[in-house]
Amino acid sequence: MKQSRASLMLTAAVSAFIFAGSAFAQTLTIGVRGGPESLDPHFSALGTHAEAAKHIFDTLVWSGDNLQLEPGLAESWKSLDATTWEFRLRRGVKFHDGSDFTAEDVKFSIERVPLVSGPTTTTIYVRRVKEVVIVDPHTLHIRTDGPAATLPYDFVRLFIVSAKAAKDFSTKETSAAGFNSGKAAVGTGPYKLVSWEPKGDLVLDRHDAYWRGKSHWSRVVRKEMANDSSRLAALKAGQVDLINYVSAADWVALKRDPKIATFVGDSVYVMNLQLDQREPTPKVYDLQGNALAKNPLRDPRVREAFDLAIDRQAMVEVVLEGLGKPARQLMPEGFFGSSTRIAWPKHDARRARQLLAEAGYPNGFKIDLHCTNDRLPGDGAICQGLGQMFSQVGIQTNVNAISRTVYFPAQARKEYSVFMNGWGTLTGEASYTLGSLAHSMDKEVNMGAFNRIEYKNPDVDKAMQEGARTLDDTKRRALFEKAMELTVADRAYIPVVVLQTVWAGAKDKVIIAPRTDEDTLAYFVKPAK
Amino acid sequence: MLGFVIGRCLQALVVMLVMSLVVFTGVYAIGNPLDILIPPEAPQDIREATIARFGLDRPIWEQYLYFLLNVLQGDFGRSFIYNMPVLTLILSRLPATLELALAAVLGATLIGVPLGIYAGYRPTSVAARLIMGLSILGFSVPTFWVGLILILAFAVSLGWLPAGGRGPTVLLFGVPWSFTSLEGLSHLLLPALNLSLFKLAMMIRLARAGTREIILTDTVKFARAAGISEATILRRHVLKLISIPIVTVFGLEFGSTLAFAVVTETIFSWPGLGKLIIDSITSLDRPVMVAYLILIAALFVTINLLVDISYAALDPRLRGGRGA
Amino acid sequence: MSGFMEQLRAFWVEFRESGIAVAALFVIALILVLALLAPVIAPQDPYDLTGLSLRDARRPPGHVGSAGYMHLLGTDAQGRDLFSAILYGLRISIQMGLAAGLAALLLGASVGLAAAYFGGRFETFAMRIVDLQLSFPAILLALILVALLGQGKAQLIAALVAAQYAYFARTAYGAAKAERRKDYIEAAVATPLSDKRILFRHLLPNCMPPLIVVATVQIANSIALEATLSFLGLGLPVTEPSLGMLISNGFQYMMSGRYWISVYPGVALIILIVAINLVGDQIRDQFNPRLRR
């Protein structure tokens, strides 16, 4: 506000994509569903935590709108040999306190992570790092514990804190106090911390020396409003300018509101149906409710019947009210390692029934279907929809849409036979998803941690292990694509729908470009007009 | 007397110990919080390392003893979610809930008592019937439903009041309050109204019942016969006599309002204790759940203890045991 | 026995004087009949997944669905006929309210009576726990128990009973204690009459009136509490929705104008609770000797 027009125009020239010519810097108020858990960026790996941290801190590697890798605090990186990556750092970057950003800060940050990480552990981002070697103030060599092809992907949520400011606040006991008070919360990001209250408001002021160019918004207030209806009401009442996670139901109505603009983007989440491959399996019964002689889910014909029973079109149009897309693989289309050769699944109830009969279940059987009902938009409704569809081909389904606090521990204990939950490919590449879900559980190679159905296909295992060692992008992509095709063909994991996310904002004030990781980043919110 | 007090204190201690054990094992039984907290991409070795780092791989009795030892030193642990000492977290949420509960109970009393007195004074009038109808509604309609309707009407359709959240706060005696500003008040109004409806119904009923009984007593009949004006009767006799049970109930209700705020706080996103406990249940923030439950239990055990001791101080016959 | 019938008659005569209470009683009877006959009246079994169709989802009241009949109150997000779902939901709500209310009555009255009758250490101990629980808010207790026990009908009933039995225990204890001091019980205790006989023939009948009053209130409370827990996401499974669950599921559609999914179940719930409370109120007034002229 106290800015000369000339300086405004200068910044506009530097960062033309942010400034749309508005004459006054303003306050942007955002109503978000979830906020940070602490201001220590290394405390939690939760999405909302990282989202808030991105306002204050930067990462070496930036993850773009569609999760493509872009330079961040590192201008470039390359692998020198099988176990060494070189990162060249951006010059002239300033911390909020005016000090220079150097390799020292990166080394400090990487080494700090294991000391302060909480239960939603951020150590996953540095797990491959064996040693950080400072070559000069703007060059780093990172030695890994083996060939680590995906190291740059790991670094998209590795936040760089100031070694000087955070030095005394790097133990479990001191970190929260130091960062929440603002003393240690010194980053290179687009905004400086003003104040924060857990589950309350995060207030930020512009960092004028930001290396991407200073933000249009002189002040940003992120209000945490967990309740979807409250958030929407706040937008309609003009209390906030922008909200995230508009529900499908509200989106339908908002589209008719002349004062509100909505923005729809694909998310990273695919709803997957998972069919237990163990023998015996706990929650599948004959029609009288007694145990079956063998697990029908191990029969490929039965699995195909499940797939054919699902009317994905109805799921998208009716259950999600248009806010989703049918899915044919375990990640959204276009992600690194997704395949274009997989056929789109069809809905064919008659064929499903026929397949069940061929498999020896002419009258079907009974299952308990488990899923979350409070984790992702529409999860409970999709689950009930699946229940209808399975029942209609003869698989009598008892739907248990339950809280994630009950679901995930029980799922981890492998108590379920047929279950569905969302899986987000947060890094945008297949090793994240297939390595955890499709690879058989194997501690040796550290894969299959989330393979709760004991699915095992030796060819998938082989392709994934080879992929992890392959530094060549083209070859690795081909390996992942093959693994994806094999996994989907086996139908132990049946993709149902890809979810979409909606933002809504005051039409005369904001425009945003949806990000696939669903982050709502104030810096990239453009003023309307 | 001293023996009695010591005995009672020991009893309270035992109750607390049992409560803590029940709470701890109960919360333990819900599930391993790390199953939902550890990021999905974490490989097995990191999962195990994290579980070990939080001591969750130890047998439950060991975890309990460890917890107990820490509590004795005043440390309830750190929240899994917020990475701050649980005690600090709970204390930081207390003012918001206190403010809301106080506003609700005060409002209910100030409106409910006059209405109740009137309804008791003229029990057959149309207004009295209306008031009683209102109180039945206040009793019957579930709080969450009223909350939804209030939001829909005043925040969404009319747009007069904010739909949720707490307004800006001002430090007063070192505690943040929001009622000092107009915006703060506008945030407070709907949730306070929502929370007060049940109390309002109760205050109306208490005042009405008291008034009806007193009006029928001989004192009032004699006063009337003596030609004392009705207004004076209401003020001198009725209000004075019913104020004792009302003050008692006010005190008791204030306590339960603190807890009942769970529903209202959830609907209006009010950042108080109730919201905290619901959030910690849905995110399996075990340290917060355990500490909250134990502190609440301690609060009620202490109140009971104080009541017992003060009764005993007033009435020596009770010292032998509670049963008369 | 005729004495009892006589009392009941007198009670009814007085009850009849209150037009509102009689109307409320009629409403309760009507709801009970509707709920009992739900499988006959309802055009659809809302729990049978094969009978639902997603294509009928979220239709406004009056829409004629794919099955060929009109959805009087519209349909919900799963294509459930709301009229049917409300009838079945009433069934569940009443079932839960009655089961929890009666179980709490049994447990509470037993504890209260036993404490008053036997006295001594048991009395001290039992009433101490009851008092502690009374000061502890019911909703919080139920909330915690449901969180601990998990979701399901039995768990929910257990939570409701645990949250409410103390009221019955206090009431029974108070009434019985007053009765216990009377000469005839003292005399009965001195005779070789069995404990059981004294308890059930003499103490219990005298505790009944206040217990009935508490029971009506508590049944209404159980229903409201169950709805609240369901609303908070800690209640019954979604596939067999109680009224609270229907309201909760429908609320997300309120803002977009599809009010019927949430409003009609809410109206049904409120009518039920208000009617029970109105009847309870009248009974309370009739049992209160201090209000008799």
The pLDDT value given to residue A9: 44
Among the residue ranges C146-160, C164-178, C262-276, the one predicted with the least confidence is: C146-160
- Mean pLDDT of all residues in chain A? 90
| Same-domain status, A430 and A407 | yes
The alpha carbon of C183 is separated from its chain's Cα centroid by a whole number of angstroms, namely 36
Place A444 in a pLDDT band, splitting at 50, 70 and 90. confident
| Same-domain status, A389 and A313 | yes
What phi and psi values does residue C122 have, to the nearest 5 degrees? Answer: -60, -45
Tell me: pLDDT of C291 over 60. Answer: no
Q: How many CA atoms lie within 13 Å of A151's alpha carbon, on the beta-carbon side? A: 29
Total number of domains constituting chain A: 2
CB A80 within 8 A of CB A159: no
Range of the domain at A90: 30-241+509-527
Strand partners for A501:
A265
E strand or H helix at A418, and its extent? Answer: strand A418-424
Q: Which domains does chain C have, with CATH numbers?
A: 18-291 (1.10.3720.10)
User: For residue range B66-75, what is the model confidence (pLDDT) as tens digits?
Assistant: 888 888 888 8
User: For residue range A376-405, what is the model confidence (pLDDT) as tens digits?
Assistant: 888 989 999 999 999 999 999 999 988 887
User: B36 or A359: which carries more pLDDT confidence?
Assistant: A359
What span, in angstroms and rounded, lies between the C-alpha atoms of B308 and A171?
46
- The answer to whether residue A3 sits within a structural domain is no
Is residue A144 helix, strand or coil? strand
Total CB pairs under 8 A between chain A and B: 144
Subunits with 3+ C-beta pairs closer than 8 A to B: A, C
Which residue out of A37, A153, A154, A419 would a mutagenesis test of the B interface target, given it has the greatest number of B Cβ atoms within 10 Å? A37
Among the residue ranges A41-45, A324-328, C81-85, C135-139, the one predicted with the least confidence is: C135-139
| Same-domain status, A226 and A312 | no
User: For residue range A54-92, what is the model confidence (pLDDT) as tens digits?
Assistant: 999 999 999 998 888 999 999 999 999 999 999 999 999
User: For residue range B122-172, what is the model confidence (pLDDT) as tens digits?
Assistant: 888 888 888 988 888 888 888 888 888 888 788 777 878 877 777 777 777
Place A1 in a pLDDT band, splitting at 50, 70 and 90. very low
User: A233 or C137: which carries more pLDDT confidence?
Assistant: A233
| pLDDT (average), residues A125-145 | 94
Q: Does B24 touch chain C (CB under 8 A)?
A: no
Tell me: pLDDT of C270 over 50. Answer: yes
- Mean pLDDT of all residues in chain B? 81
User: For residue range C20-77, what is the model confidence (pLDDT) as tens digits?
Assistant: 889 999 999 999 999 999 999 988 888 888 888 888 888 889 888 888 888 889 998 8
| Same-domain status, A490 and A514 | no
| Same-domain status, A141 and A287 | no
Give B271-317 as a 3 state SS string: CCHHHHHHHHHHCCCHHHHHHHHHHHHHHHHHHHHHHHHHHHHHCHH
Among the residue ranges A481-495, B21-35, C69-83, the one predicted with the least confidence is: B21-35
What span, in angstroms and rounded, lies between the C-alpha atoms of C54 and A385?
7
Chain C CB contacts of B21 below 8 Å: none
Place B311 in a pLDDT band, splitting at 50, 70 and 90. low
- The answer to whether residue A251 sits within a structural domain is no
Q: What is the ipTM of this complex?
A: 0.78
E strand or H helix at A84, and its extent? Answer: strand A84-89
The pLDDT value given to residue A360: 95
- The answer to whether residue A368 sits within a structural domain is yes
Selection from A383, A382, A389 nearest residue A309 by Cα: A389
The pLDDT value given to residue A59: 96
Tell me: pLDDT of A527 over 90. Answer: yes
- Chain A residue with Cα closest to C249: A381
Among the residue ranges A151-155, A488-492, B316-320, the one predicted with the least confidence is: B316-320
User: A118 or A219: which carries more pLDDT confidence?
Assistant: A219
| Same-domain status, A228 and A86 | yes
Query: What CATH number does residue A359 fall under?
Result: 3.10.105.10
| Same-domain status, A277 and A174 | no
The pLDDT value given to residue B113: 87
User: Which residues neighbour A47 within 8 Å (Cβ) at sequence distance 6 or greater?
Assistant: A34, A424, A426, A517, A518, A519
pLDDT > 90: percent of chain C:
20
| Same-domain status, A446 and A523 | no
Q: Which domains does chain B have, with CATH numbers?
A: 2-72 (no CATH), 91-282 (1.10.3720.10)
User: B142 or C199: which carries more pLDDT confidence?
Assistant: B142
Instruction: Specify the amino acid at residue A127.
Output: R
C-alpha torsion A19→A24→A25→A28, nearest 10:
-90
CB A46 within 8 A of CB A37: yes
Tell me: pLDDT of B37 over 60. Answer: yes
Chain C CB contacts of B144 below 8 Å: 227-228, 231-232
Chain C CB contacts of A397 below 8 Å: 49
- Mean pLDDT of all residues in chain C? 83
| pLDDT (average), residues A443-464 | 91
Q: How many CA atoms lie within 13 Å of A150's alpha carbon, on the beta-carbon side? A: 27
Place A214 in a pLDDT band, splitting at 50, 70 and 90. very high
Subunits with 3+ C-beta pairs closer than 8 A to C: A, B
Instruction: Specify the amino acid at residue B202.
Output: M
- The answer to whether residue A227 sits within a structural domain is yes
Contact B262 C262 (CB under 8 A): no
How far C59 CA sits from the closest chain A CA (Å)? 11
Picking from A319, A401, A406, the nearest residue to C238 by CB comes out as: A401
| Same-domain status, A57 and A185 | yes
Place A14 in a pLDDT band, splitting at 50, 70 and 90. very low
| Same-domain status, A466 and A376 | yes
